[in-house]
Structure 1
Amino acid sequence: MTTTLKHSLGTQTEPGTLRIERTLPGPIDRVWTYLVDPEKRRSWLAGGTMAQAPGAVFELRFQHTELSDEVAPERFAAYRETHVQHSRVLRIEPPTLLVISWGSEREDASEVSFELSPQGAQTTHLVLTHRRLPDRKETLSVASGWHAHLGVLDEVLHGRAPQGFWTQLEAAEAAYATHIR
Structure 2
Amino acid sequence: MTTMLTNDAYGTLSEPATLTLQRLLPGPIERVWAYLTDGELRRQWLAAGAMEEKVGAPVEFVWRNDTLTDPPGERPEGMAEEHRMTCEVTAIDGPHSLSVTWGSTGGVTFTLEKQGDEVLLTIVHRRVEDVTVRLNVSAGWHAHVDLLEARLRGTMPAPHWDNWLRLRADYAERFAR
Q: Counterpart in 1 of 2:74?
A: 73
- SS class of match (1:53): coil
Alignment length, in residue pairs?
A: 170
Q: Counterpart in 2 of 1:56?
A: 57
CA change 1:78–1:177 in 2 (3 A) is: closer
Q: Counterpart in 1 of 2:152?
A: 157
Find runs of 4+ consecutive structure 1 residues off by over 4 angstroms. Answer: none
For residues 103-142 of structure 1, what are the structure 2 equivalents within 5 Å?
103=103, 109-120=105-116, 122-142=117-137
User: What RMSD over aligned residues (CA atoms) do the two structures have, in Å?
Assistant: 1.8
Q: Counterpart in 1 of 2:10?
A: 9
Hey, what's the Cα distance between the residues in 2 that align with 1:140 and 1:77?
Answer: 15
How far the C-alpha of 1:163 sits from its partner, in A, is 2.7
Q: Counterpart in 1 of 2:101?
A: 101
- CA offsets, 1:113-161, max 9 Å, x none? 10000111x2100111100112221111100000000000000001224
Contact 2:30 2:95 in 1 (8 A): yes
Q: Counterpart in 1 of 2:82?
A: 82
- SS class of match (1:55): coil
Give the letter for the 1:86 counterpart.
T
Give the letter for the 1:124 counterpart.
V
Contact 2:38 2:51 in 1 (8 A): yes
CA change 1:77–1:91 in 2 (3 A) is: same
Q: Which moved more, 1:70-79 or 1:47-56?
A: 70-79
TM-score (norm 2): 0.89
Give the letter for the 2:12 counterpart.
T
Hey, what's the Cα distance between the residues in 1 that align with 2:61 and 2:47?
Answer: 5
- CA offsets, 1:15-41, max 9 Å, x none? 110000100012111100000000000
Contact 2:73 2:159 in 1 (8 A): no
Note the residue ranges of structure 2 that are not aligned, 5 or more in a row.
Answer: 1-7
Contact 1:116 1:125 in 2 (8 A): yes
Percent of residue pairs identical: 38
- SS class of match (1:103): coil
Q: Counterpart in 2 of 1:4?
A: none
- SS class of match (1:75): coil
